[in-house]
Structures are given as C-alpha cells and as structure tokens.
C-alpha cells in the first residue's frame, strides 16, 4: 500500500516510468534504463549515477555484477525495496538520505533526519587541520567539535590522529546519538565523548584544536536552497539567523577559554562570510586569523589562535 501511495504522489510521466521499472521479473538492465528515465524526468541532475546506486542497493549487487549480468531478473524482494527508494529519489530526497549513509573523508557514515548531511565542502576543514598539524600526527592532541551533528569531522580527525582524543558537542540529543554511533562504527569511540549542550558552554578546556561547522545560512535564504537541502537537512543545522552569523557570535566568546595556550581553531564558513566572521573573532581578541579556500576557490575555513594570556580553560564549566 505504501509503495502505491508513494508512486501515485509523483507526476504522471514519472509515475509511468516507475511502474515500468518495477514490473515483475524485470531485468537489471531494463530496470536501470527505466530508473534513469524516471529520475531524469524528475529533474535529478545525477540521474544515471543515482539510478545505478539505487538498483545496486535494492538488489544487493555490486556495480560489477550489474554490468556483467544485466539480463539477470530482479527478485520480488528487490523490486519491493526498489519501489519506495525510486519514488523518494524522484521526489528529490537525497540519495544519501534514502540509503542512510554518506562517505566522508573516506569513512562510511550513517546519517539520519536529525543530522546535517556532511558534504565535500566540510572536508576542506578536515584537510586544513591535518595540514596544520602534520608535524604532530602522533601527539596526544585533544579535539573539540562544536555542533558535531553526525560526528563526521571528529571521526575523520580521530582516524588521522591515532593518539588524539575528542569531545563532540551538539544541542540535539538525536544528533548526539548519531555521532556516538558513527564514532563507534569508525572504531574511535574509545577516544571520544559526546555531550549534549550548547556550543562551548557545555565543556571545559583546554583543547588543542576546536573545530565547528555551524549553521550559516541566512534565515531568509533557506527557502531558496535546493530541495535536497531545504526539505531534508534539519533547520537547526542550517539556520544561521538574519545574517547567517549568529553561531559565530555564540562561539567566539568561548574560544579563548577553550583553547590551550598554543591551541588553534578552525571554523567552516559560508561563501562570502569569511571577512565578517574574522571581524567577529577579532573583536573577541582572537589572533592569527587566516582563511583557506575549498576546491571551488571559495574561502571556506577561518582559522586562528587564542589571544595572548587568555587561553587554558578559565570557564569552570563541567565536562
């Protein structure tokens, strides 16, 4: 019943293509062709790749098997799994949401509706930290990930720095649970703690590195985002307030107290926001401010250090 409802909710042309793809006994090749047409008609840019990934997931086959045996008929169970998956992607739900997984920094992560879908832009932040600390790869560093969401950033850093430990903070209990699950799946849970709380108010320093990918979309721009983002990422992880900078104003006052004397911070920022974020941080006495561009040449990361004589955990907050 649910499959029929999901298909009936689609536009007529798309609905017919889904029905064709899901005929009993359909071959892998025929189903793949129909899925491509379905997703293309629905306006999915990556329709060919997404059709292949959906079919492989539903039929539990590899890409090689799909290529090698296109005439193999799909089982009834595979067809049953494929129906809702195809309908959801045609309705522009992200593939990562449908499959409940996302690869980040080479790590297979599980995602849920409670967390932001980690994207390649954020790998620029991880890369910035790894490059800055290349000479300390074996050091017992202490990381803090503010607004951790799925835990993607902390998972990546703890895999890169084998002697490091970390604390992840998120306001959402559901997101914190997802972060714990991913840290465990990546084999680093024994070196990490996940705390439910608001930014730096939830923990006590000092930390060697503080990282964050906070919400930075202007409230008025959320309606203009791609449907895959607007309709499926949690608003808590997107909405940065009127000018998109509310989170940086909240994080900035705590950085001096959270950082060790030689500690550093790395914050992801939205396109065109780097100068404004640096001005906020400079106003809080933070120093050594610099930016790092992503692969598109956009200033994506703002980094810096604690101000003189103001670091090393003066907050007195509890872990």
pLDDT value of position 20: 57
pTM: 0.87
pLDDT tens profile 81-94? 898 899 899 999 99
**Stretch 267-292: mean pLDDT:** 97
Would you place residue 11 in the very low, low, confident or very high pLDDT band (cuts 50, 70, 90)? low
Q: Which domain holds residue 75?
A: 2-92
> Residue 89: which of 124, 52, 114 has the closest Cα?
52
Q: How many helices (DSSP H) and strands (DSSP E) are in the chain?
A: 13, 9
CA 141-309-282 angle, 5° bins: 90
Of 38-42, 177-181, 265-269, 279-283, where does mean pLDDT reach its minimum? 38-42
Would you place residue 110 in the very low, low, confident or very high pLDDT band (cuts 50, 70, 90)? very high
* Domain end among 63, 92, 121: 92
271 lies in the same domain as 187: yes
Q: How many domains does the structure of the chain reveal? A: 2
Would you place residue 80 in the very low, low, confident or very high pLDDT band (cuts 50, 70, 90)? confident
Q: Is the pLDDT of residue 268 over 90?
A: yes
pLDDT value of position 195: 97
User: How many C-beta atoms lie closer than 10 Å to residue 113's C-beta?
Assistant: 11
Would you place residue 314 in the very low, low, confident or very high pLDDT band (cuts 50, 70, 90)? very low
270 lies in the same domain as 290: yes
* Domain end among 35, 64, 92: 92
Distance of CA 119 to the CA centre of its chain: 5
pLDDT value of position 25: 78
What does the alpha-carbon distance between residue 18 and residue 29 come to, in Å, rounded to a whole number?
Answer: 14
149 lies in the same domain as 76: no
pLDDT tens profile 38-48? 899 888 999 99
**Stretch 288-305: mean pLDDT:** 96
Would you place residue 22 in the very low, low, confident or very high pLDDT band (cuts 50, 70, 90)? low
220 CB-contact burial (10 Å; exposed 0-12 / middle 13-18 / buried 19+): exposed
* % of the chain at pLDDT higher than 70: 89
209 lies in the same domain as 251: yes
Residue listed under structure tokens 């409940």: 100
> Residue 264: which of 317, 206, 314 has the closest Cα?
206
Would you place residue 189 in the very low, low, confident or very high pLDDT band (cuts 50, 70, 90)? very high
Name the CA dihedral angle for 146, 152, 155, 160, rounded to a multiple of 10 degrees.
-100
pLDDT tens profile 137-187? 999 999 999 999 999 999 999 999 999 999 999 999 999 999 999 999 999
Residue listed under structure tokens 């985002």: 225
Q: Which H or E run contains 182? A: helix 173-185
Computed over every residue of the chain, the mean pLDDT equals: 90
136 lies in the same domain as 279: yes
73 lies in the same domain as 119: no
59 lies in the same domain as 128: no
**Stretch 251-261: mean pLDDT:** 96
Per-position b or e across 165-198, b if 16+ CB within 10 A of its CB: bbbbbbbbeebbbbbbbbbeebebbebbebbeee
pLDDT value of position 6: 47
190 lies in the same domain as 277: yes
User: How many C-beta atoms lie closer than 10 Å to residue 296's C-beta?
Assistant: 10
140 lies in the same domain as 247: yes
């Amino acid at each position: 019943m649910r499959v029929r409802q999901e298909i009936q909710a689609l536009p007529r042309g798309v609905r017919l293509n889904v029905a064709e793809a899901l005929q009993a006994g359909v071959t892998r090749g025929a189903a793949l062709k129909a899925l491509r047409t379905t997703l293309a008609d629905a306006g999915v840019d990556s329709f060919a790749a997404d059709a292949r990934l959906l079919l492989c997931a539903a039929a539990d086959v590899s890409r090689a098997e799909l290529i090698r045996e296109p005439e193999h008929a799909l089982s009834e169970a595979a067809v049953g799994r494929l129906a809702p998956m195809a309908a959801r992607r045609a309705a522009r739900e992200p593939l990562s949401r449908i499959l409940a997984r996302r690869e980040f920094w080479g790590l297979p992560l599980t995602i849920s509706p409670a967390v932001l879908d980690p994207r390649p832009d954020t790998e620029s932040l991880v890369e910035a930290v790894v490059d800055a600390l290349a000479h300390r790869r074996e050091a017992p560093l202490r990381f803090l990930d503010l607004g951790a969401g799925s835990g993607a950033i902390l998972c990546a850093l703890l895999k890169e720095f084998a002697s490091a430990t970390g604390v992840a903070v998120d306001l959402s209990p559901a997101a914190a649970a997802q972060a714990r699950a991913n840290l465990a799946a990546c084999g680093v849970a024994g070196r990490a703690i996940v705390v439910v709380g608001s930014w730096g108010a939830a923990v006590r320093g000092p930390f060697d590195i503080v990282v964050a990918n906070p919400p930075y979309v202007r409230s008025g721009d959320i309606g203009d985002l791609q449907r895959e983002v607007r309709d499926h990422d949690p608003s808590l992880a997107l909405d940065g307030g009127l000018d998109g900078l509310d989170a940086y104003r909240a994080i900035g006052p705590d950085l001096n107290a959270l950082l060790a004397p030689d500690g550093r911070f790395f914050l992801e920022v939205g396109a065109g926001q780097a100068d404004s974020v640096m001005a906020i941080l400079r106003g809080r006495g933070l120093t050594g401010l610099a930016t790092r561009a992503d692969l598109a040449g956009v200033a994506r990361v703002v980094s810096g250090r604690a101000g003189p004589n103001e670091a090393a955990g003066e907050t007195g907050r509890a872990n």
